[in-house]
Structure 1
Amino acid sequence: MKLDRPSNYDGLAYGIVIAGHFHESDNYSTLRPEGMSDWLITYTLGGEGYFETDGRKQRVTTGNVTLLKPGVPHRYGTTEGKNWDFVWAHFTTGFIDTSLLPFKALTIRQIEQQAVRDRIYNSFCRILSDSRERGAYWHELCLNALREILMLLAKQQSCRMDPRIEETLYLLSHRMKEKVRVEELAHSVGISASRLSHLFKENTGESIVEALNRIRIKQAALLLAHTNRNASEAALDVGFQNYNHFTRQFRKYVGRTPSEFIQSVQSKEIES
């Protein structure tokens, strides 16, 4: 067991203090009877660990993100008979929007969606790499990755949407150029096609096809406004094979035809 006390780190001024990736057996335990001078964030990749604060022990498993406030006496370690694979980072709040941080002494969030898990893991990988390399702008890069993790947690907390529907929306946005099949989406999120269709409508107020068309048209409008793509090229870029269908959907969601939209953009550019 390690007995750690609060200490001052050379990196405190930079926000990120230290980061690491541990894979520990059940003889791993850290006790800090006076807490820490900074925040601790962990993300469990596999196995099982625990955090104990105020006499209460809480376990953490795959997909759990844990945030521990400064100054909170605690113990954490690997659950008996288990291994614990996790990444972690210490940070201070000098460069972090405090509205992204929880009020509780110990916060444990379960991340259900695989897409969000991947983003959090990739962010931790960037923190690990940049904090070790300490090249130019290393602390800004670390903080940007940390902010992404905290914003993903805040988004999850504020969004009451079924996580399977969030995952479906993520898949739609990444596969919008493909021919999307409800059966394949349902298989990806682990439910039947009929159940997915019902849940999707219940959570978003629109069908899967309507949501896909909205995502496609939103991207097409951005392409028309900010690139030299013409309407036919934009339609193909976002997955519409039939130009007439694209035009109808564009009018539905934007309120004008693609050509009218392009003219309005060009007019604003001339005025400016």
Structure 2
Amino acid sequence: MARAREVGHMEIYGGEGEGAVIAGLFRQSDRYETVRPRGRPDWLLAFTLGGSGYFRTADGERRCEAGDVVLLRPGAPHHYGTCPGETWHFIWAHFPGDRVEAGLLPDGEASVVRIVSPGDRRRLYRAMLRVVDDARAQGPFWDELCLASLREALALAARCGGRGSDPRAAEALRWLSAHMREEVRVATVAGAVGMSPSRLSHLFKETTGQSVIDALNAMRIRHAAMLLEMTALGAAEIAYEVGFRNYNHFLQQFRKRYGVSPSGYRRRGGTAKSGGP
């Protein structure tokens, strides 16, 4: 049976358990917000139809208005809601990334793409509406139909966002995100994406502007900053949680990016300026 919950202007439909597609259509006042300090295990796509909302991630805050598509990576801490004085109307879906082609998904933790063409907006809305309708009805092959419509929406967003880089670099980033808390070696990442270490290092640097290890450290530090803002965990606990086994190395990397110690960052309420990519 479909799982549905309606509270005011909220409709949620979808399957049960990890890996299921869940979709909905919301119209929410400025009292609405969602905070997930540890993110979710799946991707989120949100397409704004009217009004405005905001998304806060380790990369900062982004305002979303009609025509904006937001994609949030699994495991990325986030906080989103309706902008003050606004009503936010948006359609959304959670979905498993391992059932979608790597080239359709963005590289970063959060991506915002503006769909300018009215025709593309209508097409993307129709695709997302099919996701919600199929999740609601849950007829034969409903999950596959949802994913097919999601692929269309993702392809439109990728095209409008000008993406088209080598998908293996994106796959490596997703692997790093999934294994961030482990000890990571370039050779291990290369094996996971079917490349030699030297070829991956060259391609990754060419595509992202960073080395594999620099990207991993930046990812860990962004997560650490979010945990400092949104939890009461100590700095040493956070360092271990995001994958650092050497606390002094964690402190060095944190100061390099934010210019202050973790305790100083927390005292300032997370307002320290980022000093690097």
* Range of TM-score over shorter length: 0.5 to 0.7
Task: Measure, in 2, the Cα distance between the counterparts of 1:154 and 1:58.
Answer: 18
- SS of 1:142's equivalent in the other structure is helix
Structure 2 residue 146 is the aligned partner of structure 1 residue 142: yes
When normalised by structure 2's length, the TM-score is: 0.52
The answer on 1:83 being equivalent to 2:90 is no
Q: CA deviation at 1:13?
A: 3.8
Matches within 5 A, 1:4-43: 10-14=16-20, 16=21, 18-43=22-47
Shift of 1:158: 3.5
Letter in 2 for 1:89: A
- 1:43-122 equivalences in 2 (<5 Å): 43-54=47-58, 56-122=60-126
Q: How far does the alpha carbon of each residue in 1:89-138 deviate from its partner, in whole angstroms, 9 at most, with x for none?
A: 00002221011100111100000000000000001110000001100010
2:129 to 122, 125, 146: 125
Instruction: Report if the CA contact (8 A) 2:49-2:67 is conserved.
Output: yes
One-letter amino acid of the counterpart of residue 92, structure 1: P
Task: Calculate percent identity across the aligned residue pairs.
Answer: 43
Structure 1 residue identity aligned to 2:113: R
Q: State the one-letter code of the partner of 2:91.
A: V
Alpha-carbon distance, 1:86 to partner? 0.3
Determine which structure has more spread, i.e. the larger CA radius of gyration: 1
Retained in 1: the 8 A contact 2:131–2:149? yes
Cα–Cα, structure 1 residues 158 and 79, in superposed 2: closer, same or farther, change >3 Å?
A: closer
Query: Normalised by the size of structure 1, how large is the TM-score?
Result: 0.53
How many Å separate the matches in 2 of 1:114 and 1:159? 20
| CA RMSD, Structure 1 to Structure 2 (Å) | 1.7
How far residue 10 of structure 1 moved from its aligned partner, in angstroms, is 2.4
Q: Is 2:134–2:146's contact at 8 Å kept on the other side of the alignment? A: yes
What is the CA distance between 1:63 and its match in structure 2?
0.2
Give me the whole-angstrom Cα distance separating, in 2, the residues matched to 1:110 and 1:117.
9
Work out the CA distance in 1 between the residues paired with 2:66 and 2:30: 16
1:134 and 1:95 map into 2 onto residues whose CA distance is 18
Deviations 1:170-201, CA, capped at 9 Å, x for gaps? xxxxxxxxxxxxxxxxxxxxxxxxxxxxxxxx
Which segments of 5 or more consecutive residues in structure 1 lack a partner in the other structure?
1-8, 161-272
1:146-225 to structure 2, matched below 5 A, reads 146-158=150-162
Q: Decide whether the 8 Å contact of 2:19 with 2:95 is kept in 1.
A: no
Structure with bigger helix share is 1
